[in-house]
C-alpha cells in the first residue's frame, strides 16, 4: 500500500471518528446556599449575604430560595428569596436577605462578636430553579467568624 493511500485512510478514519463523537454531557447537580456574611443592623435585624452555588455544567436560573438559619444551636428564623438570576456553570453569586432573628440567636451572635469567637451555623431549605427546572433540598453546616475591623459583621 502506498504511503499516500495510508495517509488518506488515516485522515478519513480520524474524520469519521470525530464526526461521530458526541457533545459534552450536561451534568445537572443540586445547587447549594450558604451564608457568606452576616451584618447586624442598627435596628437589630441581620443583613445576610447569601451565596448561591451552581455545581452543574450548565447555567442555572434560580427562582426561589426558602431557608431556615440556626446559629449556635439557636433558631434564628426563616427567609425566602426570589433571586431571579442565572448563575454560570460551576460558579456562584451572592444575593442579599434581611432577617429579623429570634432573641436566642441575637444573643449568640452578640456574644460571638464581643468575644471574637466563631459560631457554628446550619442553613437548610429548598432551592427552586427554572432552567433547568428542579426543586432541590439542601443543608449546609459551617461557621461564621467576627470580621476584624468590621463592627457587627461575621464572615
Q: What is the pLDDT of residue 3?
A: 77
pLDDT of 14 strictly over 70: no
User: Which strand (E) or helix (H) includes residue 75?
Assistant: strand 74-81
Domain boundaries, the chain: 32-145
Cis peptide before 132 (omega within 30 of 0): yes
User: Alpha-carbon Rg of the chain, whole angstroms?
Assistant: 24
* pLDDT tens digits, 64-94: 999 999 999 999 999 999 999 999 999 999 9
pLDDT of 5 strictly over 70: no
User: Which strand (E) or helix (H) includes residue 57?
Assistant: none
* pLDDT tens digits, 21-37: 666 789 999 999 999 99
When the pLDDT of each residue in the chain is averaged and rounded to a whole number, the result is: 93
Read off the pTM: 0.84
The CATH class for the domain spanning 32-145 reads: mainly beta
Amino acid at each position: 500500500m502506498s504511503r499516500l493511500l495510508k495517509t488518506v485512510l488515516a485522515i478519513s478514519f480520524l474524520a469519521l471518528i470525530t464526526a461521530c463523537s458526541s457533545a459534552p454531557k450536561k451534568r445537572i447537580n443540586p445547587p447549594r446556599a450558604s451564608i457568606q456574611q452576616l451584618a447586624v443592623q442598627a435596628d437589630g435585624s441581620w443583613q445576610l449575604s447569601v451565596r448561591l452555588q451552581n455545581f452543574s455544567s450548565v447555567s442555572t436560573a434560580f427562582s426561589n430560595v426558602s431557608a431556615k438559619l440556626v446559629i449556635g444551636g439557636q433558631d434564628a428564623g426563616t427567609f425566602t428569596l426570589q433571586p431571579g438570576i442565572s448563575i454560570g456553570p460551576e460558579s456562584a453569586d451572592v444575593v442579599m436577605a434581611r432577617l429579623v432573628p429570634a432573641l436566642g440567636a441575637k444573643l449568640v451572635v452578640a456574644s460571638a462578636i464581643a468575644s471574637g469567637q466563631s459560631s457554628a451555623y446550619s442553613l437548610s431549605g429548598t432551592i427552586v430553579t427554572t432552567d433547568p427546572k428542579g426543586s432541590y433540598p439542601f443543608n449546609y453546616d459551617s461557621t461564621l467568624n467576627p470580621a476584624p475591623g468590621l463592627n457587627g459583621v461575621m464572615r
